[in-house]
Structure 1
C-alpha cells in the first residue's frame, strides 16, 4: 500500500473532480454540452494599507484545479474532457518584490490540467468553445464569482445557480488522494496536540498552549489553521467555541492550578482540514470529577464510532450518544429518573447541546450536510449532518458533556425538569467546564477508518503529562 506521502506527491486529481461535477450538472444542461468556468480568489488589499489580506483559496476552484494561486481561473469543456488553467500575466513590478511567477510549463508539470494559458486568453477560449458547439453549449459559473470582464458570448445559456451545489454534492465523497491529504493534516495535528499537552504542564496562560499548537503545525507543513484554535482551561471549556485563549491556568480564587484544558485545534494541509479535540490534565493527572466525565464521553465516542458504515442514519448515531450520556450521568447521580424518561424529556441536551459531528474536507464544517436548524426538536436542531452517510465521506465524531451555567440553569429553574437534575451533586462538576473528544472518521462500505492518531486513552495522556511535568 502506498504511503500518504507517496500518494500526495502525485498530482491532485482535478480532472476526475471535474468529471464528477459535470455528471452532477447533466440534468441542468438539458442534453446540451456543459462548460464550467471558475475563478480563484482575488488578491485583496487590507483597507487603508498597502499589504494584501491573508489569502484563502476558493474551494470550488481548488477542487477542479488543485491550484493555490490567486487571480487565476479555469475552463472545463465536459464534452471534450479538456481542462484549461489560466494564470495571471507576469507583472514586472511584482517580480521585483516577489520573484518570478509560475510558468505555464511548470504549471503543466504541477497540475492535472490539459493546457495552461494566460488570463487575457479566457474570453477567446470561451468564445471558441461556444462556436465549436454551434451555440448550443451551457456555461456554468458561480454567481458573484465572475469578473466583470468575463463574457459568455455564443452560449445558449449561462447558469449561475447550479454549479455551486453540484460541487458541494461532489465534495461529500472523497477519493483516495483527498483521504491522504486529510490523513496528513491529522498526523500533523496529532503532533500539535502532543506538543500542547506537554506545554500545558508548565504553561501559565492559555495562549502559551496555543502557541505550541501553531508552531508545531507550521513546522510540519500546515502553515494555516483549519479554524482559530480553542484552548479553554477549567470552566472556560463549558463554552463550546471559546474564543479568547488568554486566561491564566491558575485559578484566581483558589490560587491553585486549574484541573484540565480542552483543546480543539486542527492544521490545514493543502486546503484539507483536520479537526481534533482533546482534554488534558494541567497537573499530570485528571482530577476525579474530570476523569469521571472523560470516561463517559470516551464511551459515547467509542460506541458511536462502532456504528459507522455506509448507509448508517446519522440521527440514530447522535441519539445513541445521548443514551450513553444519560446512563453515565445517572451513575454519577447528576441525573435522576428513568433512562427513557430522561431521553424523551431531552434532559441530556442540557449537558450535550450540540450535534455529534459534521462532514470534514476542504472546510472544517464541510459541504453537503443538509442541516435543519429550524428543527423544533432540541436534540437534533444543531446537527450539521442529516440523513445517511455515504461510503467515502469523512465525518467528525465529537461527543461532549459540558457544565455551562447559562445552558443548565433554565433546566434547574423549570418546575417540570428540575426534578431530573440533582443540583447538590452537580455542584461538584462546575470546575470541569467541558469534556469533548473528537476524531475524524472515513466512512467505508463495511465500517470506518479512524484518521486521527492523537492520544486519547487516559493512561497514555497521563503518562505523557507526567513525563512533561518532571
Structure 2
C-alpha cells in the first residue's frame, strides 16, 4: 500500500473530474474454483478500487459522495469462523483509516445510500462491471439489468479514471520496474530450461513459479508454446523439438499489483536456422523502430503504421509480399502476418484499464480504429503519447495456416501477397518480441534494469552459456 496521502489525493482529483453525484467503486469478492471453500483462484482486487483505496481485502465497496464531500468504506467485518480458518485481519474502520476515509458502514447500508441518491435524482456513477457477482449487486442496488450495465456505466467516471490512471507517478513506475525485474527472472528461466525433450508445460510451470515466488502472481496466464502463430498459446504437454522456435509471453505482478509484460522467441536448440533468422531479424528491427519513434505528441497509431511499412518492405525482400507498400498497408494486407496492434497501455492491469472500454483507453477522436478492417480492428492503442504513459512494444510475424488458406481461397490481397511462397512457411510458427516502454519527456526508455536478451547473437550466446 502507498501512503495514505496518495489515495486521498487520487480521490480528491477524481471528485474534481467527475464534479457531481455519487461514485460507487466495487471491490472484488473471492472466486472459488469448484466448491465454496476451495479458494483455488487467488484473490485479485479490482484495479480501480485498488487505485483509489489501496485495500486488498475482499467484500469492500468505496462510496464517494461528491456533492456532500463524504467518503465511505462499505464492508462487513469478518467473524470468528473466518478468523479460525484464515486468521485475523484489520477491521473495516481500521482499513478506512489506513486509506484516509473518515466513514465506514456495513454492507447493508449500501442499499440505503443508493436509495437516497436515486430518490434525490442524483447520478450514481459506476464503472463497467466484468464479474457476474458485481452485476447482480448493481442490479439489486440500482435496478439496472446486467445486459444494460456496460452501456449505462458512467462515461464521466470512465473518462476521469482513464485520465488519472494513464499517467504513471514515480511510485507507480518504481512498482512496474519491480515487476519487470521479476519478469527478467521468468524469461531467463524459460531460456535456460528450453531444450529438446522438455515439455511446454514444464517450462511454463517453472515460469509461473518464479512469479509466485517473487511477486503476487502472474500478470496474465503464461504463454509458452512452439506454436507461436497462436496468439494465446498456453503451455501443453507437447515435447519441445530441435529446429523449432519457442515463444514465451509472460509477466509478473508485484504485491501492489503493478504488471510487467514481455515476449521472447528463441530456438529450442539454441541456434536460429537461416530462415528463422531472416524473419526474426525483421521483428527485431520493427521492435527497435518503435523505440526510436515513440515520444510525447506522437500518435501510437502512426508508430504502428511505421512498423507495418517496415515489415512489409522486408517481407517483400523475402518474396512473401509484393506491390506498393503504402497500398498494401492501407488495404490491410500486412495483417496476414501481423493481425494485432503494436501494443497496449500497461499498469495495474496488463492491458491497462481495458475493462473500461478500449475505445476510451487507447484512442481519441483522431485515432479511432477502423473496426471493419482485419488487423486494425484488434488495435488496443493509437492515441497521442504523453509523458508518463507505459506502453508495450510488441511487433510479431505469424504464419497462421488457417488464415493463409482462408485468404487464398477468397482471393484476398493477391496484389500484395505471394501465396505460392507463403505456402512453404505454413510450418514456421510465429515470432513476437515485446518490451515495456515508459514515455519520457523527449522519447521513451525500456522499463527494467536488466535487459532480457533479444538480439539474435545475444539470444544464442545466452542459451549457449546457460
**TM-score of the aligned structures, taking structure 2 as reference length:** 0.82
Deviation (angstroms), 1:296: 0.5
Q: Which residue of 2 aligns with 1:226?
A: 219
In 2: Cα distance, 1:160 partner to 1:387 partner: 22
Deviation (angstroms), 1:121: 8.9
In 1: Cα distance, 2:111 partner to 2:420 partner: 75
Deviation (angstroms), 1:417: 3.4
Q: Which residue of 2 aligns with 1:89?
A: 77
Taking the TM superposition and a 5 Å limit, the aligned residue runs for 1:425-444 are 425-444=421-440
Q: Which residue of 2 aligns with 1:73?
A: 61
Deviation (angstroms), 1:167: 2.1
In 1: Cα distance, 2:371 partner to 2:125 partner: 33
Q: Tell me, which stretches of 5 or more residues in structure 1 are unaligned? A: 1-7, 152-158, 251-256
Deviation digits for residues 174-201 of structure 1, max 9, x if unmatched? 2222222222111111110000010112
Cα 1:457–1:408 shift into 2, 3 Å: same
In 1: Cα distance, 2:330 partner to 2:346 partner: 30
In 1: Cα distance, 2:308 partner to 2:91 partner: 55
1:395 to 383, 391, 402: 391
Taking the TM superposition and a 5 Å limit, the aligned residue runs for 1:104-115 are 107=95, 111-115=98-102
* Range with greater deviation from structure 2 (117-126 or 428-437): 117-126
Deviation digits for residues 41-84 of structure 1, max 9, x if unmatched? 12354554432462221222111111111012223355786655
* Range with greater deviation from structure 2 (64-73 or 364-373): 364-373
Taking the TM superposition and a 5 Å limit, the aligned residue runs for 1:56-455 are 56-78=44-66, 83-103=71-91, 107=95, 111-115=98-102, 117=104, 119=106, 140-142=125-127, 145=134, 161=154, 162-201=156-195, 204-221=198-215, 223-233=216-226, 236-250=227-241, 257-269=242-254, 270-367=256-353, 368-370=361-363, 375-413=371-409, 415=411, 417-418=413-414, 420-423=416-419, 425-452=421-448, 453-455=451-453
Deviation (angstroms), 1:214: 0.5
Q: Which residue of 1 aligns with 2:29?
A: 42
In 1: Cα distance, 2:127 partner to 2:204 partner: 37
* Equivalent position SS for 2:343: coil
Could you tell me whether the CA contact under 8 Å between 1:40 and 1:58 is conserved in 2?
yes
* Equivalent position SS for 1:352: coil
Cα 1:355–1:97 shift into 2, 3 Å: same
In 2: Cα distance, 1:121 partner to 1:345 partner: 56
2:11 to 18, 35, 58: 18
Cα 1:71–1:9 shift into 2, 3 Å: closer
Could you tell me whether the CA contact under 8 Å between 1:230 and 1:245 is conserved in 2?
no
In 2: Cα distance, 1:263 partner to 1:337 partner: 33
Deviation (angstroms), 1:101: 1.2
In 2: Cα distance, 1:350 partner to 1:44 partner: 38
Deviation digits for residues 270-303 of structure 1, max 9, x if unmatched? 2222221110111121121111111111111111
* Equivalent position SS for 2:276: helix
Rg (Cα) greater in structure: 1
* Equivalent position SS for 2:64: strand
Cα 1:138–1:376 shift into 2, 3 Å: closer
**TM-score of the aligned structures, taking structure 1 as reference length:** 0.81
Cα 1:113–1:136 shift into 2, 3 Å: farther
Could you tell me whether the CA contact under 8 Å between 1:442 and 1:451 is conserved in 2?
yes
